[in-house]
Structure 1
């Protein structure tokens, strides 16, 4: 069973990571979430759950308005050839979330570290980063340094690259 939001918050608290969470109606797209601008400070994320032809999985997290060249990103992230979007079944199996709720915080569910996490360098220049806490009905805000600590605590090695055009 995937972890719940409560499990996630307990994990963050156990790491001494301060975060704040704002509840809102379900958000399925970046356009939906842009209606909250001004209400939630910090950088808002867009997450791409990708796979290559050898079934390697990648979670690429960028700022919500960043442009990503999906035809060329495989060169940057170390994929075996071009990438495509991962299937919803694998998204649930690996990150414990549904399409529309993809989040870097889903790494808490990837206990075998099958997903390589790539954070855009531009995103990481922000002090506060916002992500869904395993549901698209809320947004959790934390410091970028704490996001890195969270990722490392899940056993993943965050790769910071300039992936946005």
Structure 2
């Protein structure tokens, strides 16, 4: 069982870290989050859980305006161009133990995330305040980079700030500049037959926005260190109702099934065209199509699925397009 929001906030208080928390309804987009905290200044964050081919995991925490190119980042870590991909949804629940939309550096407090590497945007240091969800996307907390460092050091993490938009040359005479941040081991996922199915809320999307000082929205509530205020909002109570364990979306969000359907339909067309020309190479051609397309389609689909969850549908389309 991972840390809860309340346990995390209690830990921050024990460390005498100055933070302010803002209760709000569960937010699904950064625009929705900005309506509650965007007027406060500082930097909203986007947070990604990534994995490499050796099943090692990375949390990349960046300002919303920072462009994170996974191909470049893969090379800088010494993993090759295709070394990084979006981690599957189950990794959020089993390793970070947070729902979709709640990935932040705070999730590394869980022992199950001990082997996860953390890359922080160096832009956080220039912000007066940084905003993160505290393991739950019905609240946002603000703190400065020094206090974030204090928290990370308290859990045995040495903060590593990186220029995520840099594109250094990597080659024989230029070793990968971020190779030291590659985890030394891969987390061991629990046996699916031995774990309960976690019930989680939808994710939050993170897209670049501009903070505005005019037209300030009404703040629902805020919590200063040592004090807690929870507004009796019917909308929020409705959003906080637990989901049924039976997920009706599971069948249509199965990446492997989706990719198989694409390949099967593609194979029918290819086989039909082959037969029109009287060739007998159908089975061999179809095996080749499946072999060469399966992994790439699965990676692209997983990226699209996670982007659609975490950035909204339109941002998901944009993310996949930029990868081409």
> Does TM, scored on the shorter chain, surpass 0.5?
yes
Aligned to 1:28: 28
Gaps of 5+ in 1: none
TM-score normalised over the length of structure 1: 0.90
Aligned to 1:93: 94
Matches within 5 A, 1:82-121: 82-110=83-111, 113-121=114-122
8 Å Cα contact 2:2/2:97 also seen in 1: yes
TM-score normalised over the length of structure 2: 0.48
Alpha-carbon distance between aligned partners in 1 of 2:20 and 2:78, rounded to the nearest angstrom: 34
Aligned to 1:74: 74
Matches within 5 A, 1:1-165: 1-76=1-76, 78=77, 80-81=79-80, 82-110=83-111, 113-164=114-165
Residue aligned with 1:122, SS: helix
Measured after TM superposition, the shift of residue 16 of structure 1 is: 1.2
1:25-81 CA distance string (max 9 Å, x none): 2123334323335443321110011011111111111111221112211123x2634
- Which segment is superposed worse, 141-150 or 111-120? 111-120
Alpha-carbon distance between aligned partners in 2 of 1:27 and 1:66, rounded to the nearest angstrom: 21
Alpha-carbon distance between aligned partners in 1 of 2:16 and 2:33, rounded to the nearest angstrom: 28
Residue aligned with 1:21, SS: strand
CA RMSD of aligned residues (A): 1.8
Runs (4+) of structure 1 exceeding 4 A deviation are none
Alpha-carbon distance between aligned partners in 1 of 2:111 and 2:69, rounded to the nearest angstrom: 26
Aligned to 2:290: none
Higher strand share: 1
Alpha-carbon distance between aligned partners in 2 of 1:147 and 1:72, rounded to the nearest angstrom: 26
Alpha-carbon distance between aligned partners in 1 of 2:8 and 2:40, rounded to the nearest angstrom: 20
Gaps of 5+ in 2: 167-324
Q: Which protein, 1 or 2, shows the higher relative CO under an 8 Å CA cutoff with sep ≥ 6?
A: 1
Alpha-carbon distance between aligned partners in 1 of 2:67 and 2:58, rounded to the nearest angstrom: 17
1:111-134 CA distance string (max 9 Å, x none): 552111110111222121110010
Residue aligned with 1:156, SS: coil
Residue aligned with 2:71, SS: coil
**What count of residue pairs does the alignment treat as equivalent?**
164
